[in-house]
Amino acid sequence: MITPLKKLYDFVGDALRTHDEEARHAQLSRPPGVLDSQVIWVMVLAAVILTLLDYYGGSGDWRTLELFVKPFTDDYARVLENIFVHPEYGRLARLAYWSGTTFIGYFVLPVLLIKLVLRQRLRDYGMPWPGSRAPFGIFLVLYLIMAPFVVGVAFTDSFQSTYPFYQQADRSLLEFFVWQCIYAAQFFALEFFYRGFLIHGLRHRFGVYSILISMIPYCMIHFGKPLPETLGSIIAGIALGAITYHYRSIWPAVAIHIAIAFSMDVFSLSAQGRLFALWPF
C-alpha cells in the first residue's frame, strides 16, 4: 500500500509543480482592467447547475416531470406513478431519473455553454483520449489504493444497506447490467463537470489552483454520506483533478470512478451472499 500511495503523491506533486506556466502566461497577456468573461460564465453556470440539481435532481424529485407530461395527457399523475411507483421497477426508474438529470446538468448544459456561448471545442475540456499509456498505470495505482478500503467496509451494515443503490440489482443479470449503465452515465457526466468543465474552463486563469476550486463543490456533494467517504472525496478530488489536468483528459478519471463504483456493488453483494444469485446456474 505504501508504494502505490507514494507513486500517487509523487504524480500529483509533479503535476501541480510543472503545469502552471500557461496560466501565468495567460494572465500576463491579458490587458489590465479587462474582465475574464469565460471565468464568469463557467462559475455562474456551475452555481446554477449545482442549485438546480440539489432542488430537482434527486431520485425523489421525479414529480418535476409533471411539467413536461401534463401538456400531453390529463392523467399525467397516474402515468408517472405507474412508472416511478411501480412495485418492481419503480426504484430503478427513479434512479434513472437521477442519472438523467445529472447527465443533463453536468454534461448537456456545460456543452451548450461551451459550443454556443464560448464558441470553443469540447476537446479543450478534457474530452480527448489521453495520448500516452501512462494513465493506465495511474489507474492501477488508484484502484490498488481504493480496493482494500472497499473490501474492508463491505462487511459493515451501513455499507450493505447503501450499496448497491439499486438494491434489487441481484434479481437478474439484465437488471444488474441496466443499473450499471445508468450508474456509469452519471459518473461520466460528473467527471466532465468537475474535472472537465471546471478545471479546463478555469485553468487558463488559475492554473493548477483550478483543481482545488473544483475539489470544493465535489466534496460538498458528498455531505450526508459517511464521514470517511466525504473526507476521502477531498483526496480523490485532488488526485483525479491532477490526472485530468496533466493529461488534458477526463477518461482516466471516468474509468477509475466507474471501476470503483462497480467494485463497491460487487463486494457489497458478495458480502451479503447475493452475488451468485445473478447467475442462472
What pLDDT score does 90 carry? 95
Mind listing the pLDDT tens digit for each residue in 13-41?
666 666 566 666 656 556 666 789 999 99
Q: Which residue has the higher pLDDT, 274 or 95?
A: 95
What pLDDT score does 5 carry? 62
What pLDDT score does 125 carry? 97
Q: How far apart are the first and last CA of the chain?
A: 37
Q: How far is CA 128 from each of CA 67, 80, 250, rounded to the nearest angstrom?
A: 37, 38, 8
Secondary structure (DSSP) of 11-66 = HHHHHHHHS-HHHHHHHHHSPTT---HHHHHHHHHHHHHHHHHHHH-SGGGGGGGH
What pLDDT score does 80 carry? 96
Mind listing the pLDDT tens digit for each residue in 230-251?
888 998 899 899 889 988 999 9
What pLDDT score does 150 carry? 81
The contacts of residue 254 (CB under 8 Å, 6+ apart) are 187, 188, 191
226: confidence class by pLDDT, cuts 50, 70, 90? confident
Dist CA 207 CA 210 (whole Å): 6
pLDDT of 281 higher than 60: no
Longest Cα–Cα distance of the chain, Å, equals 71
Dist CA 265 CA 246 (whole Å): 30
Is 165 strand, coil or helix?
coil
Query: Whole-prediction pTM value?
Result: 0.89
161: confidence class by pLDDT, cuts 50, 70, 90? confident
Q: Which of 24-28, 201-205, 234-238, 255-259 comes out lowest in average pLDDT?
A: 24-28
- The mean per-residue pLDDT over the stretch 99-112 comes to 98
Q: How far is CA 214 from each of CA 15, 70, 203, rounded to the nearest angstrom?
A: 16, 37, 11
Helices (H), 65-133: 66-69, 76-84, 90-103, 109-112
Mind listing the pLDDT tens digit for each residue in 109-160?
999 999 999 999 999 999 988 766 566 777 788 888 888 888 888 888 888 8
pLDDT of 205 higher than 70: yes
C-alpha cell at 132: 500516452
210: confidence class by pLDDT, cuts 50, 70, 90? very high
What pLDDT score does 4 carry? 62
The contacts of residue 14 (CB under 8 Å, 6+ apart) are 246
Show the CA angle centred on residue 200, arms to residues 196 and 204, nearest 5°. 175
Show the CA angle centred on residue 202, arms to residues 54 and 211, nearest 5°. 75
Q: Which residue has the cell 489507474?
A: 139
Q: How many CA atoms lie within 13 A of 241 on its CB side?
A: 30
- The mean per-residue pLDDT over the stretch 207-226 comes to 92
Mind listing the pLDDT tens digit for each residue in 43-88?
999 999 999 999 999 999 999 999 999 999 889 999 999 999 999 9
